[in-house]
Amino acid sequence: MIHLDNVSFSYEKKPLFLGLTMYLQSGHIYGLLGENGVGKTTLLKLLAGLVFPKGGMCKVLEHEPRHRKPSFMSQLYFVADEPHLPHSTAARYADTYGVFYPNFDKSLYLDYLKEFQVPAEQVFSKLSFGQRKKVVISFALATNVPLVLMDEPTNGLDIPSKSTFRRIVAGAMTDERSIVISTHQVRDLDSLIDAVLILHQGKIVYNEDLNALADKATAQPNLENLFQEVIQFH
CB-neighbour burial class of residue 233 (10 A; exposed 0-12, middle 13-18, buried 19+) = exposed
Does 228 help bind other proteins (rule: CB under 8 A)? Answer: no
Q: Is position 192 an interface residue for other proteins (rule: CB under 8 A)?
A: yes
Between residues 78 and 165, which has the closer beta carbon with respect to other proteins?
A: 165
* Cβ-based nearer residue to other proteins, 128 or 163: 163
Pairing of strands 147-151, 29-33: unpaired
Please tell me whether residue 163 binds other proteins under the rule CB under 8 A. Answer: yes
Among 73, 76, 193, 198, binds other proteins (CB under 8 A): 193
Q: Could you give the string, one character per residue 110-149, with x where binding to other proteins holds by CB under 8 A and - elsewhere?
A: ----------------------------------------
Residue 191 in the binding site for other proteins (CB under 8 A):
yes
Determine, following the binding rule CB under 8 A, whether residue 25 of this chain makes contact with other proteins.
no
Query: 136-170 burial, b for 16+ CB within 10 Å, e for fewer?
Result: bbbbbbbbbbbbbbbbbbbebbeeebbebbeebbe
Q: Does 29 bind other proteins (CB under 8 A)?
A: yes
146, 124 contact by CB (below 8 A): no
Instruction: Decide: is 201 part of the binding site for other proteins (CB under 8 A).
Output: no
Size of the site for other proteins (CB under 8 A): 23
| The one among 71, 201, 222, 228 contacting other proteins by CB under 8 A | 222
Quick one: which segment of 47-55, 88-96, 116-124, 191-199 binds other proteins (CB under 8 A)?
A: 191-199
Span of 62-70, 97-105, 138-146, 162-170 interacting with other proteins by CB under 8 A: 162-170
Is residue 230 part of the contact set for other proteins (CB under 8 A)?
Answer: no
Considering beta carbons, is residue 89 or 164 the nearer one to other proteins?
Answer: 164
What is the distance between the terminal CA atoms of the chain, rounded to a whole angstrom?
A: 27
Backbone CA torsion sign across 78, 83, 84, 86: positive
Name the residue nearer to other proteins (CB basis): 127 or 142.
142
Residues that bind other proteins (CB under 8 A): 27-29, 163, 166-167, 170-171, 173, 190-194, 211, 214-215, 217-222
